[in-house]
Structure 1
Amino acid sequence: MNNEAIGGDWGSARQVASPNCDARPTNEVSLLLVHAISLPPGQFSGGAIEALFTNQLIPDEHPFFAEIAHLRVSAHFLIRRDGQCVQFVDTDQRAWHAGRSRWWDRRQHGWRTALNDFSVGIELEGDDITPFTQAQYQTLVAATHWLMSRYPLLDRSRITSHAHVAPLRKTDPGPAFDWAYFYQQLGPKSLL
């Protein structure tokens, strides 16, 4: 894989610009949030996720789309079931993925909100109950290595789920995501 970057663009990802982003208030990137998404729910492939993140979702194409077409959301990356990666937002910019959430920052000994300000969001195409693919784990590990090499404050202890930071509203990536396997594939702490 080509891991070269231009700005905060990962060279291994296909670039599709989302308008749903803005400047980070600081240069700090110190948290990675793992999400899962499928549109319509439980269905994989197709262009609906890209359409949502680029404000082009057509409400009449599915009843669920009518409920969400007004949303202005994005993530930095989407990893498809086949492992292909799409980047919507430069990682030096703020994507709109975390929503109302909070996270206990051990380094600052306190709760932090406004997580989009300092996090990178990676969406895995999937849902809470369908196992994620080997190809997705491989791409997630490669993207995580790239992010850790780019942002020194980001380490293994600062990778978490959307469900962890918004437990009353979110469940993703859910029990189908194998955290132990992901960390095993990520490699020993000493190598990062």
Structure 2
Amino acid sequence: MKVIDHKISEARWLASPNFNERPSGAPINMLVVHNISLPPKQFDNSYIEDFFCNRLDCSAHPYFEEIKDLQVSAHVLIKRSGEMVQFVPFNQRAWHAGVSEFSGETNCNDFSIGVELEGTDDIPYTEQQYYALSQLTLCLCEQYPHLTQERIVGHCNIAPQRKTDPGPSFDWSYFKQLLKKLPS
């Protein structure tokens, strides 16, 4: 796995319009782990991709009416199968964190990479997702030297009053063990 022109070689590319420039000189120094499922707790469909690309058919499910006006994205989505889809180049600012703060720094989108896991707070993630996330993380840490394992956080860590993801179903200990076991 390699980063080429700020895109991950193993990912399917699907351009989102929901991004903009990072502030000049902002180092990429954080990875934020999220979860998403559309509709909630339903997997293996194209709704997340459609949502991040502003083409979600809001008549397809009643929940979609609640999110129809949102414009969000992540850099990468890791599906239940482990497949990766990239929406925004890493050198651009994806719109994933919202109002956020970490160690006194606000606007975490300015300096972070957002990775969405197809899942929920309370349904276990798949082995394939942990493997893909750990490979991706190691690759990103190698490519972007300011990104260290100490700055890999959940959305819940940067927006604790608003967000709970990746939730209790995400096994941080197991994920960190995988980071140590995989060759860098």
What's the TM-score once normalised by structure 2's chain length?
0.96
* Offset of residue 142 of structure 1: 0.7
Pairs aligned (count): 182
Partner amino acid, structure 2, of 1:87:
Q
Matched, 1:6 2:4: yes
- The answer for the alignment partner of 2:145 in structure 1 is 152
Please provide the CA RMSD for this pair: 1.1
The offset of 1:6, in angstroms, is: 2.4
Q: Which residue of 2 aligns with 1:55?
A: 54
How many Å separate the matches in 1 of 2:158 and 2:108? 9
Q: 1:40 aligns to what?
A: 39
Letter in 2 for 1:171: T
1:23 aligns with 2:21: yes
Determine the C-alpha separation between the residues in 2 that align with 1:121 and 1:130. Answer: 20
Q: Report the alpha carbon displacement of residue 169 of structure 1 after superposing the two structures with TM.
A: 0.8
The alpha carbon displacement at 1:47 in A equals 0.7
Change in CA separation of 1:168 and 1:27 when aligned onto 2, cut-off 3 Å = closer
Q: Deviations over 1:23-74 (max 9, x none)?
A: 1113410000000000000111111100110000111111110110111100
Q: Give the deviation of 1:101 after TM superposition.
A: 1.0
For structure 2, list consecutive stretches of 5 or more residues without a partner in the other structure: none
Is the CA contact 2:2–2:139 (under 8 Å) kept in the aligned structure 1? no
Residue 128 of structure 1 is aligned with which of 114, 121, 128? Answer: 121
- The runs of 4+ residues in structure 1 deviating greater than 6 Å are none
Q: For residues 26 and 158 of structure 2, what CA distance do their matches in structure 1 show?
A: 21
Contact 1:27 1:92 in 2 (8 A): no
**SS where residue 59 of structure 2 aligns?**
helix
Aligned to 2:86: 87
Quote the sequence identity (%). Answer: 49
- Unaligned 5+ segments in structure 1 are 105-110
